[in-house]
Structure 1
Amino acid sequence: MSRTPLVEPGHGPAGPGPGAGEGSPAPGRPGSASPVWALVRLAVVVGAVCALAVAVHLTDLLVVIVALAGMVMLHELGHFLTAKWTGMKVTEFFVGFGPRLWSVRRGETEYGVKAIPAGGYVRIVGMSNLEEVDPADEPRAYRSQSFPRRLLVAVAGSAMHGLLALALLWGLLTFVGVTQPGTVGILQIAPLAKGVDPAAAAGLRPGDQVLAVAGKPVRSAEALVQVVTDHPGQPLHLLVRHDGRTEHVTVTPAAVRVPGRARPEGRIGVLVGPLSATENPLRAVGGAAQDLWQVVAATSDAIGTTFSPHGLASFFDQLGNAKAAARAAKAGTRPESIVGAVRTASQAAAAGPGALIAVLVSIDIFVGMANLFPMLPLDGGHVAIAVYERLRSRRGRPYRADVTKLAPVAYAFILFLVVFVGSAVFLDITHPVANPFG
């Protein structure tokens, strides 16, 4: 919680990040650069990264990285806000890890940005009995707070993931829309050539739903394309729905010569496919909540399957079995590392905003749920300790767990995560998961 790194989507957290006190001194400390120059340096670095992404046509990747980094920072913001609200002492709130690019102190808290955008951390005083705390700060240490306050701060990060996912799903339903199965619509209109635009000439518009052609119901995009292809130069009568109104439209496909084909084929200059429909903002709240529950249930099943004995055996078998790795990659059933997740999200960004939002919601919910696993250094470990201490406490005699006894288990867990994450990265590089968006 005080140091939460970016969780590797698809298989669990990557473990604790670098120490909270690392990097160059904050502005105002001896030997530090002025805040203005540090801010200029940060602006130069950010500008250079953005310019490079645009120059090499990787803006989709940049958007994904920014989204993932923002996702983790919202997690940390949850810890930060609840810790401040409950009166705990928070000394640092940083975006990223590694060398400090910029920071500023406001009151007792130092805010800043570091060079590696792989997450971030909040440092709350006294997270365990291992930490030395100034006696003057002990009343405001995390470990000195009541059970409800510690529980609130510990779960706040994952709660932020739930709120973010709900907001994303609401935005998807309200502004982007979701695909309506069984519909065939005009998605895009593009002239075949200068002055040759059959669709526009007939009055077709993007968003029109094609209900029938030549008096026969249209049940698939492929069926509509086939009819148009087979009738070059022949008027076709379409029944379309636009803005809730049903209209009759006559379109004459242009005759287009296709290499390798003996006869010309009909084209009207449209891209067709299933339509997307938006919802009323108020109704979208209920729809978003329902979709969120489905994502949570699916993620829970995926985590249980992945970390079951059979799931782990199957995963590690792929490291030495190229055929098994290829099958899993083709089927898309293998957990992905951050490398694979960024690739999949970039492919989704290229496919459209709806696909990107769906992938980001999936990653977001996984990160939130994985962080609640009851093992240090995850948030769930702090929850488990708080619950255990509450159960062991007696009226007037609060019990405090000795975290040193948990250290061997925590180190073994971290070692397992390192091996698992490293294996997932290796598989994502050698056998990338197939593009689910075509």
Structure 2
Amino acid sequence: MSTLVAILGLGFLILIHEAGHFFTARLVGMSPRRFYLGFPPALVKWERKGIEYGLGSIPLGGYVKIPGMHRPAPSDVDVYFARAISERPQLFPVTAALRRRLEEGDMEGAKPEVDALQRELAAALVSPGARRAADRGIQELRDGLGGDAYWRQRAWKKIAVIFAGPGTNLLLAIALFTILFMIGGGRATATVDDVLPSHPAAQAGLRPGDRIIEINGAPAAAGQIRDRIAASHGKPLVLVVVRDRRLKRIGPVRPKIEAGAYRLGFVLRGAGLGFPTAAWEAVKLTGRATGRIVTSLGSLVHRQGRKQISSPVGIVQGSSNAL
């Protein structure tokens, strides 16, 4: 089940990523030719308004085909049509004319040469492999010579399309974190939300709903509770909580060290933030997570770094919320 969830989650992230490329390309005047989730062979495909959409059978990625990613070059003639020429030498004159136009940089003049080559290929008897390569070459050249080809666009348009994929993923993360912060995952309160089983807090009798007001005889605000427990260095603590409108003494209870910090084993309830604050916290959290991913990926080149990363989850694992 977890594997299925991981695959579906990865597929969703890829879909969002590729959608960023797709819609940005259309917005700046390019016309994508294909939009696929997964890699071929296609399980399902359909065409709408000149764009082929599909679902690939290999769920390990996805892609958007943007026309003319590189400027058509004379070498393209050899790459796509060499086999057809070897089987049918009569194709050489028309391919030579096309090559000459490309060498001269005459992109407009190359268009009728591509049309002529397509007509000659339609009448020629070549092997299936040569036919597939030639058909692909015709399509690639048409895309590259078109007015919406990627290589023809202004620099800012090309940069926008390239960065739209990861940018869309970042915007999605910010949006989701903003929602979480607004519905209660932002600012911690002094009220206990959960008590972890078999931890000191549970053994001492702390319960969900208890509101902590004092630690070791000193008032404890919500923002101080974590630091006060961590600073105990394992010494016993006495908590005073409000339970059912009455004061109750918890402890003494000795924190134990987990993940490098002293903890009692409970989670504080979060309070929702307003939209501006939630959005800003989401931006900061996304930035920190992105930084940790980049740092972790960089550490993979070192043996010590590889030892510290045991799984994909470990790359972005944050500190526990338990206190």
TM over 0.5: yes
Structure 2 counterpart of 1:133, one-letter code? L
SS in 2 for 1:139: coil
Q: 1:126 to 1:101 in 2, by over 3 A?
A: same
Partner of 1:211: 213
Q: 1:273 to 1:135 in 2, by over 3 A?
A: closer
Partner of 1:187: 193
Structure 1 counterpart of 2:150, one-letter code? Y
Once the two structures are TM-superposed, the CA of residue 146 in structure 1 deviates from its matched residue by: 2.4
Q: Deviations over 1:342-361 (max 9, x none)?
A: x559xxxxxxxxxxxx75xx
Alpha-carbon distance between aligned partners in 2 of 1:283 and 1:184, rounded to the nearest angstrom? 20
Partner of 1:282: 276
Q: Does the CA contact (< 8 Å) of 1:212 and 1:240 recur in 2?
A: no
Once the two structures are TM-superposed, the CA of residue 133 in structure 1 deviates from its matched residue by: 2.1
Q: 1:344 to 1:67 in 2, by over 3 A?
A: farther
Describe how 1:183-332 pairs up with structure 2 within 5 A.
185-188=191-194, 206-212=208-214, 219-220=228-229, 238-240=240-242, 247-250=245-248, 272-303=266-297, 305-306=298-299, 312=301, 314-315=302-303, 329=307, 332=308
Structure 1 counterpart of 2:161, one-letter code? V
Describe how 1:355-366 pairs up with structure 2 within 5 A.
none
Alpha-carbon distance between aligned partners in 1 of 2:195 and 2:289, rounded to the nearest angstrom? 34
SS in 1 for 2:142: coil
Q: Does the CA contact (< 8 Å) of 1:177 and 1:278 recur in 2?
A: yes
Describe how 1:410-421 pairs up with structure 2 within 5 A.
none
Q: Does the CA contact (< 8 Å) of 1:238 and 1:248 recur in 2?
A: no
Once the two structures are TM-superposed, the CA of residue 208 in structure 1 deviates from its matched residue by: 3.5
Structure 1 counterpart of 2:229, one-letter code? S
Alpha-carbon distance between aligned partners in 2 of 1:209 and 1:281, rounded to the nearest angstrom? 26
Partner of 1:115: 57
SS in 2 for 1:240: strand
Once the two structures are TM-superposed, the CA of residue 240 in structure 1 deviates from its matched residue by: 2.8
Asked which structure has the greater CA Rg, the reply is 2
Question: Which stretches in structure 2 are left out of the alignment for 5+ residues?
Answer: 77-136, 197-203, 221-227, 252-264
Q: 1:240 to 1:161 in 2, by over 3 A?
A: same
Q: Does the CA contact (< 8 Å) of 1:210 and 1:241 recur in 2?
A: no
Counting aligned pairs with the same residue, the percent is 27
Question: Which stretches in structure 1 are left out of the alignment for 5+ residues?
Answer: 1-52, 191-197, 229-236, 254-270, 316-323, 346-357, 363-434
Q: Does the CA contact (< 8 Å) of 2:67 and 2:144 recur in 1?
A: no
Alpha-carbon distance between aligned partners in 2 of 1:437 and 1:153, rounded to the nearest angstrom? 38
Q: 1:68 to 1:179 in 2, by over 3 A?
A: farther
Once the two structures are TM-superposed, the CA of residue 290 in structure 1 deviates from its matched residue by: 2.6
Partner of 2:173: 165
Partner of 1:73: 15
Structure 1 counterpart of 2:194, one-letter code? Q
SS in 2 for 1:169: helix
Describe how 1:332-351 pairs up with structure 2 within 5 A.
332=308, 334=309, 340-341=311-312, 344=314
Once the two structures are TM-superposed, the CA of residue 207 in structure 1 deviates from its matched residue by: 4.4
Q: Does the CA contact (< 8 Å) of 1:184 and 1:272 recur in 2?
A: no
Q: Does the CA contact (< 8 Å) of 2:186 and 2:278 recur in 1?
A: no
SS in 1 for 2:141: coil
> Matched residue pairs, number?
231
TM-score by length of 2: 0.55
Partner of 1:143: 151
Alpha-carbon distance between aligned partners in 1 of 2:240 and 2:321, rounded to the nearest angstrom? 30
Once the two structures are TM-superposed, the CA of residue 123 in structure 1 deviates from its matched residue by: 0.8
Structure 2 counterpart of 1:122, one-letter code? V
Once the two structures are TM-superposed, the CA of residue 94 in structure 1 deviates from its matched residue by: 0.8
Alpha-carbon distance between aligned partners in 1 of 2:269 and 2:182, rounded to the nearest angstrom? 15
